[in-house]
A and B are shown apart, each in its own frame.
Chain A
Amino acid sequence: MKIKSVLWPKPRWGKFLAVFAYIGLAGWLFMAFIYNPFFEVYTGVENAPLTYESSKPLSDSEFEALALELTRQRRLEEAGAIVGEEHGEFTSEVRKDMLMKTRSFRAKTSYDHIEYFREAGIRQYEGPKTCLTCHETMKVPDNEGGYTNVNTMEDVLNSIHFKFQSTSAGFTTYGYDGRKVNEGMHKIPVGKIDRACGIPGSFSWTGWAAIVEAKPAHADGEVEMRSEGCGQCHIGGNYHPATEKMMPIGNIPSSAEEGVDCLICHSDNYDMNYRHAMKDENGIRWNQDRTMRAAMTVGQPKNENCLNCHQHNMGGDAYAHNVAAKNLGYKNKRLLHPGAKRGNPFSYESDVHYRAGLVCLDCHEPEGHKIPRGTKGTDLVGNDLPGKVVACENCHTSAPHTENPITRVILNGHTARIACETCHITHLEDNNVVLRDWVHPTWHEEEGIWTPTDILWSGQPGRGFTYLWFNGNGTFLANALGANPNKNTNYNPLQVQLAQITDPIAIEQIRQAALELKKTYKDLDVDAYVEGVTNPLSQLTPEMRKKRERLIEEKIRPLMNMAESKIYPFKLFNAMMYEDMSNQGPYGAMILPFDYATYYETGDPKKAVQVAIQNPIVKRMYEFPFKAYMMDEFMAYFGVDEWKTEFPLKDGKLRNVEPHWMRQMGSLMVNHGISREAHECQTCHAENGIMDFEALGYRPQRVKDLQNLPELQRLNLPKRDKTASKGKKTALPVAIAH
């Protein structure tokens, strides 16, 4: 009787409450015992408690010794920076020593958290748990000039740095069907996690973490284990990316929360040697530095923290000043990518802002753990703060040139039409990869693995990057949208600049690379190969080409004419990959991922595709629920009418799968590697200038005018060397050159 009155109380309000309680309970039971297990079975992802070997407790005396060492190390560095080197070695040492004993200097050069840990008795870093002891909530600016308190862990888990995707609006990307991504009613999770990237490993479920057997030349046939995968740059430490966040319901399990790596962004002493893939009974995941050495030196993120990961896609792994690439792992060393993704490094050596002492977060001003990307972009990457402007003009105004009284006015005038980067990024790194062939891998002696073959590297304008009109938006496959203010329809980068390679030096290099490939791949038709890559539209049927031309005018042209455009530099990129031809459109077909280990070890890309697409989540993509949930919408943006669910593997054989170059090159924004010394007037304003005014849509008369400015003769500038723009030949990638 009593129990009954509790379970189903008499008063009406009691019954009301009870109904609510039962619904809640049912929901919880459903999630815990039905949805979550079902989700794991359905997607094949693993979740398990995460532990890290590097998290070890220190004794009090060990703690104090480490505190002393870390503080001394920092003081030495800062004293060195103040004293400088011009006084001779001995005097410098004496001066540093004096500073190190100075009270005020000591006070401002200690690590706050050493004292906090000492007081709180913290002698072991146990991951986010340790940080959250004090930082359970944090202040985040609201939009009214005040602050709100937010839950720190939730703030992190909902940031792009954790999720790698976004289900909301705020992309600067337009589908080839003319719709802005996620602006409509049907919102799908898109971003780095699943974008149709030219590097198939980026499909982050199949390329999350891999341990590869390498047979490097220096090891005399011994096997060395190496790490690879996109998880190396992820702040989560789980066995898979944040898959739960991709689904309409469900959330990150608490075990995954334990894997968040606070220190990679916040520690002054994060040791990237701990960042390697490791295997345990549940699968492969990425290790982290959870030592007290790293934890005791936490603070606001500095450039080095961001660059731990981001130099990889700016300067590249092979960039001389990439610090993280010097610390590859205590075991299973991370594999370096020889070609640079963008080739525009942010470093003391290569960027004027770094030298001026700026930190990343000065321009990318964060709100809590949300960091703005800026309001412009061609690639499909999520943005935590879509409205927030990150731009040169924020500091430099629209009149940035002040020094030369003769040229400053007209240079400032240029900013109405020309982006700062156009003149102030004069070249990219020489190993900037433009064309990458995943279908014909090359044996890499030194690393002892099969690597994709880079067909063209170049950091030169017109070859490694080009100039396009840009209104801040891009297409689904990263083509800059914009138009000449004269609205000339001859400006058509999807048919010209991004769909043709005409530079004779580039063509020659491509031919040489193809000839080199023919040594390994006897059946390769060199002429056809060169035609395919220099004229990727030749891969389309005549009907498809017609459709493409029509769709560009109907759907893309209005997007190009939207808003005001300026000329920006764009890094060019194309890749040959295996495509699922059942899902082909005029701009390309669904790219299939490679299994890293199979690819690197066997050099058999077809087999690598077979292995990768058997990953449960790829199979799910080819089933109805995923088709309805996101794939139809995804493909509509891709320019493909409907997602066909014929699985490309049948009876152990790939079906309707073909190797292709994307039908046009991608164009990626380059914004770093800014130099004070910019292009000269006559670098563009000359008949053989680096800027192809005609292709940019200027009318013939205007092209002549822009190439022959009488004012330049009055300025008495040296004539541009006719061979300068075309002469410089870039060294080919090692894999091809030998």
Chain B
Amino acid sequence: MKRTASLASTHLILFLLLTVLLANVMALYGQTAEVAPRSGNDACFRCHALSTLGIRDTAPGGIRNLSVAPQEFGHSIHGDLQCTHCHEQGYDAWPHAQERTGVGALRCTNCHQDPKLELKELFADIQQEFAKSVHVQKLGEKFSCFSCHDPHSFRREQEVSTRKIESANALCTDCHESGQKLAAFTERKFAPIEVTHAWLPNQDLHWEHVRCVDCHTSYEAPNTSHNVLPKSQAVTKCESCHSQNSVLLAKLYKYEHRESRQRMGFLNGTLLNDAYIIGSTRNSVLDAVSFALFGLTLVGIGGHGLLRWMGKKKREAAKEEDA
């Protein structure tokens, strides 16, 4: 009896709780049906999704773009984060604080030094190389991670492909080929890349298949391609890459080889990868087979010639007989 009563009271409490919960949910739902969600990133994207959100910057003709493409952000490696996670103060409502709070001081390493996050060591390495780079040496505070990398669209590169090389090089050419973005950093003007690289044969082929950083960053450990060197120290010798122990294996193809082998197995991964560099890519079995074929061809031609020479005397004798 007692038990039933306690059961009944438990049920009643549960029922009440559920009702309250349901009412809450309904109220919430009703609210969202009334007006668009104004919480979380959606609230930010109400304005920041507009592609033209931005202001004229002091740089001549320059526009500071303040828009973030929601889809691109969603697919980026930071897509699960709340905007306010990085943009902390002054951005909870509009109009935002008039001074740029925090944004100027934002750095990747603000988060990526947290031991709980993976890649902590990699970021430490990058930070160390970046600090040595010619950009930071010359431009100091003006130059940050975000001068090249947009954290709102950043994705982790899984493998090397022509398309990705293009986007990687775009990071450099954005400034080095266009006046506008460059003007935000320096008054210097650069000659067109075709002119400064006039010495390089097959320019287009190189642009398509090699990243700028493959020649222009240091190869010293930790070799994260972030120590951009002065141009005098760039790789300019053909044989640095076009040889069997190409330096590219330590940079561009570091991941490529490992990953394509994982995907396609050792033999196919080696045979079918889309990288072919004169002097560097070599398959010794194919080499041996080619040599053998070449040798056999020589033997064939030689044998044929010998037989012709031997038969010549006989044919001449037969001709004389006819005459």
B247 to chain A, nearest CB (A): 42
When chains A and B are docked, how far (Å) is the Cα of A410 from the Cα of B48?
9
Assess whether B41 is interfacial by the CB under 8 Å rule. Answer: no
Contact between A701 and B35, CB atoms less than 8 A apart? yes
Query: Whose C-beta in chain B lies nearest to the C-beta of A408?
Result: B55
Count: A-B pairs, CB below 8 Å: 61
Contact between A399 and B52, CB atoms less than 8 A apart? yes
| With A397-B61, A413-B67: A704-B50 Cβ-Cβ less than 8 Å | no
Assess whether B54 is interfacial by the CB under 8 Å rule. Answer: yes
Contact between B52 and A708, CB atoms less than 8 A apart? no
Contact between B34 and A398, CB atoms less than 8 A apart? no
Assess whether A678 is interfacial by the CB under 8 Å rule. Answer: no
Interface members, chain A 390-415 (any B CB < 8 Å): 397-399, 401-402, 405-406, 408-410, 412-415
Contact between A414 and B63, CB atoms less than 8 A apart? no
Q: Which residues of A contact B36 (CB under 8 A)?
A: 701-702, 705
The contact string, 1 if C-beta is below 8 Å from chain A, for chain B 37-59, is: 01000000001001111111000
Q: Which residues of B contact A409 (CB under 8 A)?
A: 47, 53-55, 66
Residue from the list A406, A701, A710, A714 in contact with B38, Cβ < 8 A:
A710
Q: Which residues of B contact A714 (CB under 8 A)?
A: 93-95
Contact between B34 and A412, CB atoms less than 8 A apart? no
Contact between B95 and A398, CB atoms less than 8 A apart? no
Contact between A413 and B47, CB atoms less than 8 A apart? yes
B183 to chain A, nearest CB (A): 15
Assess whether A56 is interfacial by the CB under 8 Å rule. Answer: no
Assess whether B98 is interfacial by the CB under 8 Å rule. Answer: yes
Assess whether B286 is interfacial by the CB under 8 Å rule. Answer: no
When chains A and B are docked, how far (Å) is the Cα of A714 from the Cα of B33?
23
Query: Whose C-beta in chain A lies nearest to the C-beta of B93?
Result: A714
A405 to chain B, nearest CB (A): 6
Contact between B54 and A399, CB atoms less than 8 A apart? yes
The contact string, 1 if C-beta is below 8 Å from chain B, for chain A 369-405, is: 0000000000000000000000000000111011001
Q: Which residues of A contact B95 (CB under 8 A)?
A: 406, 711, 714-715
A312 to chain B, nearest CB (A): 35
Q: Which residues of B contact A279 (CB under 8 A)?
A: none
Contact between A397 and B67, CB atoms less than 8 A apart? no
Residue from the list A397, A408, A705 in contact with B35, Cβ < 8 A:
A705
Residue from the list A399, A410, A414, A702 in contact with B56, Cβ < 8 A:
A399
Residue from the list A406, A412, A708, A710 in contact with B54, Cβ < 8 A:
A412
Q: Which residues of B contact A710 (CB under 8 A)?
A: 38
Assess whether A417 is interfacial by the CB under 8 Å rule. Answer: yes
When chains A and B are docked, how far (Å) is the Cα of A654 from the Cα of B181?
69
B29 to chain A, nearest CB (A): 12
| With A399-B52, A409-B54, A410-B47: A704-B34 Cβ-Cβ less than 8 Å | yes
B243 to chain A, nearest CB (A): 44
Assess whether A563 is interfacial by the CB under 8 Å rule. Answer: no
When chains A and B are docked, how far (Å) is the Cα of A526 from the Cα of B172?
72
When chains A and B are docked, how far (Å) is the Cα of A409 from the Cα of B47?
9
Interface centre among B33, B51, B53 (most CB of A within 10 A): B53
Chain A interface main SS type: helix
Assess whether A416 is interfacial by the CB under 8 Å rule. Answer: yes
When chains A and B are docked, how far (Å) is the Cα of A163 from the Cα of B125?
70
When chains A and B are docked, how far (Å) is the Cα of A190 from the Cα of B61?
40
When chains A and B are docked, how far (Å) is the Cα of A413 from the Cα of B67?
8
Chain B interface main SS type: loop
When chains A and B are docked, how far (Å) is the Cα of A405 from the Cα of B38?
23
Contact between A399 and B50, CB atoms less than 8 A apart? no
When chains A and B are docked, how far (Å) is the Cα of A406 from the Cα of B47?
14
When chains A and B are docked, how far (Å) is the Cα of A399 from the Cα of B180?
15
When chains A and B are docked, how far (Å) is the Cα of A290 from the Cα of B112?
80
Residue from the list B33, B34, B52 in contact with A413, Cβ < 8 A:
B52
Contact between A417 and B50, CB atoms less than 8 A apart? yes
Query: Whose C-beta in chain A lies nearest to the C-beta of B46?
Result: A705
Interface centre among B54, B61, B63, B67 (most CB of A within 10 A): B54
What class of interface size applies to chain A in its complex with B? Answer: 20 to 34
A476 to chain B, nearest CB (A): 32
When chains A and B are docked, how far (Å) is the Cα of A708 from the Cα of B46?
13
Q: Which residues of A contact B51 (CB under 8 A)?
A: 416
When chains A and B are docked, how far (Å) is the Cα of A270 from the Cα of B35?
61
Q: Which residues of A contact B50 (CB under 8 A)?
A: 413-414, 416-417
When chains A and B are docked, how far (Å) is the Cα of A408 from the Cα of B66?
12
Contact between B34 and A701, CB atoms less than 8 A apart? yes
Contact between B35 and A398, CB atoms less than 8 A apart? no
When chains A and B are docked, how far (Å) is the Cα of A710 from the Cα of B52?
22
Q: Which residues of A contact B94 (CB under 8 A)?
A: 410, 711, 714
When chains A and B are docked, how far (Å) is the Cα of A325 from the Cα of B12?
87
A687 to chain B, nearest CB (A): 13
Q: Which residues of B contact A410 (CB under 8 A)?
A: 47, 53, 94
Contact between B35 and A708, CB atoms less than 8 A apart? yes
Q: Which residues of B contact A715 (CB under 8 A)?
A: 95
Residue from the list B35, B55, B93 in contact with A399, Cβ < 8 A:
B55
| With A710-B38, A714-B95: A412-B53 Cβ-Cβ less than 8 Å | yes
When chains A and B are docked, how far (Å) is the Cα of A399 from the Cα of B53?
8
When chains A and B are docked, how far (Å) is the Cα of A416 from the Cα of B33?
26
When chains A and B are docked, how far (Å) is the Cα of A410 from the Cα of B61?
19
Q: Which residues of B contact A402 (CB under 8 A)?
A: 55-56
A423 to chain B, nearest CB (A): 14
Q: Which residues of A contact B54 (CB under 8 A)?
A: 398-399, 409, 412-413
Q: Which residues of A contact B63 (CB under 8 A)?
A: 397-399
Interface members, chain B 46-103 (any A CB < 8 Å): 47, 50-56, 61, 63, 66-67, 93-95, 98
When chains A and B are docked, how far (Å) is the Cα of A155 from the Cα of B36?
57
When chains A and B are docked, how far (Å) is the Cα of A465 from the Cα of B33?
33
Contact between A405 and B56, CB atoms less than 8 A apart? no
Query: Whose C-beta in chain A lies nearest to the C-beta of B53?
Result: A413
Interface members, chain A 403-451 (any B CB < 8 Å): 405-406, 408-410, 412-417
Q: Which residues of B contact A401 (CB under 8 A)?
A: 55
When chains A and B are docked, how far (Å) is the Cα of A233 from the Cα of B36?
53
A75 to chain B, nearest CB (A): 38
| With A399-B63, A714-B94: A415-B52 Cβ-Cβ less than 8 Å | yes
A154 to chain B, nearest CB (A): 39
Interface centre among B36, B56, B93 (most CB of A within 10 A): B56
When chains A and B are docked, how far (Å) is the Cα of A142 from the Cα of B47?
43
When chains A and B are docked, how far (Å) is the Cα of A414 from the Cα of B98?
20
Query: Whose C-beta in chain B lies nearest to the C-beta of A397?
Result: B63
Query: Whose C-beta in chain A lies nearest to the C-beta of B48?
Result: A413
When chains A and B are docked, how far (Å) is the Cα of A715 from the Cα of B96?
11
Contact between A416 and B52, CB atoms less than 8 A apart? yes
| With A398-B63, A410-B53: A405-B35 Cβ-Cβ less than 8 Å | no
The contact string, 1 if C-beta is below 8 Å from chain A, for chain B 271-298, is: 0000000000000000000000000000
Q: Which residues of B contact A412 (CB under 8 A)?
A: 52-55
Q: Which residues of B contact A705 (CB under 8 A)?
A: 35-36
When chains A and B are docked, how far (Å) is the Cα of A497 from the Cα of B285?
75
The contact string, 1 if C-beta is below 8 Å from chain B, for chain A 679-711, is: 000000000000000000000011011001011
B103 to chain A, nearest CB (A): 13
B91 to chain A, nearest CB (A): 12
A417 to chain B, nearest CB (A): 7
When chains A and B are docked, how far (Å) is the Cα of A398 from the Cα of B54?
8
When chains A and B are docked, how far (Å) is the Cα of A409 from the Cα of B50?
10
Query: Whose C-beta in chain B lies nearest to the C-beta of A406?
Result: B95
When chains A and B are docked, how far (Å) is the Cα of A398 from the Cα of B36?
27
7 A-B residue contacts at CB 8 Å? A398-B52, A398-B54, A399-B54, A399-B56, A408-B55, A413-B47, A413-B52
Q: A410-B53, A412-B55, A711-B95 are in contact. List 19 more A-B contacts (CB 8 A).
A: A398-B63, A399-B54, A399-B55, A402-B55, A406-B95, A409-B53, A409-B55, A410-B47, A412-B52, A413-B53, A414-B50, A414-B52, A415-B52, A416-B51, A417-B50, A702-B36, A705-B35, A711-B94, A714-B95
B-to-A contact residues, CB < 8 Å: 33-36, 38, 47, 50-56, 61, 63, 66-67, 93-95, 98
For the complex of A and B, the 8 pairs showing the least CB-CB separation, nearest first, are: A413-B53, A413-B50, A416-B52, A705-B36, A398-B52, A415-B52, A416-B50, A416-B51
